[in-house]
Amino acid sequence: MTSDAKLPIPNHLRAPTKGLHGKYSIERADGKALPDTFEAFVLRLDSGAEPNHLKACRAAILTYANEIEAHLPELAKDIRDKWGRNDFRQRAIS
């Protein structure tokens, strides 16, 4: 390494951007370690999110529910019961 080489800045130390970046720390509820290869993307689903962002996040979670329906029907139902109400899109943009 030359003296003028720069080390990459870890995501959690970078200034916030509008692109993909590390914003949250995730840990398992049971305290077990996550594998080194673990990757996740957080969807904010509460009403505190910016309306267009909230609308996109809720559409994404419902798409996920559709994709897991065959092998995880209870989880798909729980997701729809919580975020799949017909009025969620209206609340997201109001």
- Please report the pLDDT score of residue 12 as a whole number: 59
Quote the pLDDT of residue 43: 94
pLDDT in tens, the chain (94 residues): 445 556 666 665 566 667 888 888 899 999 999 999 999 999 999 988 789 989 999 999 999 999 999 999 999 999 999 998 644 444 444 4
pLDDT at position 93, please?
A: 47
Going from the C-alpha of 19 to that of each of 38, 39, 43, the distances in angstroms are 20, 16, 14
Percentage of the chain modeled with pLDDT above 70: 71
For residue 48, what pLDDT is reported?
A: 85
Question: What does the alpha-carbon distance between residue 78 and residue 57 come to, in Å, rounded to a whole number?
Answer: 16
Please tell me the predicted confidence (pLDDT) of residue 22: 82
Say if CB 55 and CB 92 are below 8 A apart: yes
